[in-house]
Amino acid sequence: MENVSFIKVAGIDGVEVEHAIIDRGNGEFTSMTKATYDTLLSNSSIPQAGE
C-alpha cells in the first residue's frame, strides 16, 4: 500500500519547495516535487489498447 507524505525542503537558494514522498510499502520510496506529483495525479494514463 502506498503512503504519501509531504515535506518542505529548503534548496541551496534557501527557498522552501514542497516535496511528495511516496512510500511504496516494500522499503522502496519515490520522491518528487509536489507540483510534479499533482501533475502525475491529475493526468490520465496513455491510451489503452487491446480490448
The residues of the shown chain that bind other proteins, judged by CB under 8 A, are: 7, 9, 11-13, 15, 17, 19, 21, 27-33, 36, 39-40, 43, 45-51
41 and 26 in contact (C-beta within 8 Å)? no
Residue 1 beta carbon to other proteins: minimum distance, rounded to whole angstroms:
13
Q: Which amino acid is it at 35?
A: A
Residue 37 beta carbon to other proteins: minimum distance, rounded to whole angstroms:
9
Residue 17 beta carbon to other proteins: minimum distance, rounded to whole angstroms:
5
47 three-state secondary structure: coil
Nearest CA-CA partner of 7 in 28, 23, 26: 23
